[in-house]
A = this chain, B = another copy of it.
Amino acid sequence: MQGDYRLHDIGDFELEEGGTIPGLQLAYATYGELSPDKDNAILIPTWFSGTHQTWEQAYIGAGRALDPERWFIVVVNQIGNGLSTSPHNSDGPVAMAGFPHVRIGDDVRAQEQLLRELFGIERLALVVGGSMGAQQTYEWMVRFPNKVLRAAPIAGTAQNTPHDFLFTQTLMDAITSDPGWKGGEYSSHEEVAEGLRRHAGIWSVVGFSTEFWKTEFWRGIEIEDTKFSSMEDFQINFMEAVFGAMDPNALLTMAWKWQRGDVARNTGGDLQAALGRVTAKTFVMPIDEDMFFPPRDCAAEQAMLPGSELRALHSVAGHLGLFGFEQSYLAEVDEHLSDLLAMAV
């Protein structure tokens, strides 16, 4: 269920890890109008398993911080997310198991090209993204410091942590251990249903918080007028339904990329030097109950970022609070983004 989006072909695209994606297509959606001076552009890169849709539904709207009446907002779906070029929508040698490894830096370079080619945008008023979107936001800040005036990485890090690497590995193992995955050459994602179910199960444990489950937070979640009657009901009809509809190879492409997010690749491994390049006014926004991008890890990077502020968000839902279940959380995001957008740069 994806809202309106367009595809932009940015041509044959060479990847940092080697190999080329022929005719790379980026799926993007825009909201609002670009000003004549092209000074009101906001870029939003997407998170693991996400698309522009969640941003459209939960974060963008009239009267909100991300107000299309004031800003020209471009949400670009990350490479491999199922809408942009991905293993299952590719032909030839890059189809399915042949899809090459993609890095966060590849996404950011492709996005920069898209913004220039389509809209002539040379400078962004704001880059904001959550989770893997935060990884891309950090990469933008370090790689193109002169193009990013403000930045808000939410619930993500500039350099992926070892714990995150291992967590992501369990997600990948859940999928690749399913005999139906067939080394990436399944004929339908339904052949990998069991692997996707286990993948959803691990998300339930690490993606939410202990308090999410203890307080039965899920009782307040309503999907198409339906509420959930038990933890098991929520697990099956929300988590397994959401993640079970996804493409296994797309998830694996994104997971591999997530594991290796690291802005220090731009500075020979020196994280301090990489973050020292940043000129954007930055709000680092961890979620307090996040179990795998914990505030501690985000704060350590914020301390290395010149002129930045730590603006922690509260969500009992933990990392998956990013879905925007709580009005209080969304109000906090709006408040911080409004503050940031009001700052002179």
Q: Which residues of A contact B (CB under 8 A)?
A: 161-163, 165-167, 169-170, 173-174, 177-179, 194, 198, 201-202, 204-206, 208-214, 216, 231, 235, 291-292, 294, 296-297
Within the complex, what minimum Cβ distance (angstroms) separates A160 from chain B?
11
* Alpha-carbon distance A204/B194, docked complex (angstroms): 22
Query: Which residues on B sit within 8 Å (CB–CB) of A296?
Result: 210-211
Query: Which residues on B sit within 8 Å (CB–CB) of A291?
Result: 210, 291
A–B Cβ pairs within 8 angstroms, 5 of them: A163-B208, A163-B209, A163-B210, A170-B198, A214-B297
Within the complex, what minimum Cβ distance (angstroms) separates A229 from chain B?
14
| CB nearest to A169 among chain B residues | B201
- B201 and A166 within 8 A (CB): yes
| CB nearest to A239 among chain B residues | B166
- A210 and B294 within 8 A (CB): yes
* Alpha-carbon distance A202/B161, docked complex (angstroms): 16
* Alpha-carbon distance A202/B204, docked complex (angstroms): 13
| CB nearest to A179 among chain B residues | B179
Residue from A169, A174, A204, A210 having most chain B Cβ neighbours under 10 A: A210
Query: Which residues on B sit within 8 Å (CB–CB) of A205?
Result: 163, 166-167, 170, 206
Query: Which residues on B sit within 8 Å (CB–CB) of A216?
Result: 162
- Known interface pairs A177-B194, A206-B206. Does A161 touch B213 (Cβ–Cβ under 8 Å)? yes
Query: Which residues on B sit within 8 Å (CB–CB) of A170?
Result: 170, 198, 201-202, 205
Query: Which residues on B sit within 8 Å (CB–CB) of A209?
Result: 163
Query: Which residues on B sit within 8 Å (CB–CB) of A292?
Result: 210
- B169 and A210 within 8 A (CB): no
- A177 and B161 within 8 A (CB): no
- A173: which of B198, B210, B213 is its contact (CB, 8 Å)? B198
- Known interface pairs A177-B177, A210-B161, A296-B210. Does A166 touch B198 (Cβ–Cβ under 8 Å)? no
Query: Which residues on B sit within 8 Å (CB–CB) of A169?
Result: 201
* Alpha-carbon distance A297/B173, docked complex (angstroms): 30
- A235 and B194 within 8 A (CB): no
* Alpha-carbon distance A4/B163, docked complex (angstroms): 37
- Known interface pairs A198-B173, A205-B163. Does A210 touch B179 (Cβ–Cβ under 8 Å)? no
- B231 and A162 within 8 A (CB): yes
* Alpha-carbon distance A159/B194, docked complex (angstroms): 30
- Known interface pairs A177-B177, A194-B177. Does A162 touch B202 (Cβ–Cβ under 8 Å)? no
* Alpha-carbon distance A169/B210, docked complex (angstroms): 15
- A214 and B177 within 8 A (CB): no
- A161: which of B179, B208, B214 is its contact (CB, 8 Å)? B214
* Alpha-carbon distance A161/B170, docked complex (angstroms): 22
- A177: which of B198, B210, B212 is its contact (CB, 8 Å)? B198
Q: Apart from A163-B214, A166-B201, list 7 A-B contacts with CB within 8 A.
A: A161-B210, A161-B214, A162-B213, A163-B208, A166-B213, A174-B198, A177-B178
Query: Which residues on B sit within 8 Å (CB–CB) of A165?
Result: 231
| CB nearest to A197 among chain B residues | B173
Within the complex, what minimum Cβ distance (angstroms) separates A43 from chain B?
29
* Alpha-carbon distance A174/B195, docked complex (angstroms): 10
| CB nearest to A167 among chain B residues | B205
* Alpha-carbon distance A216/B162, docked complex (angstroms): 9
| CB nearest to A215 among chain B residues | B162
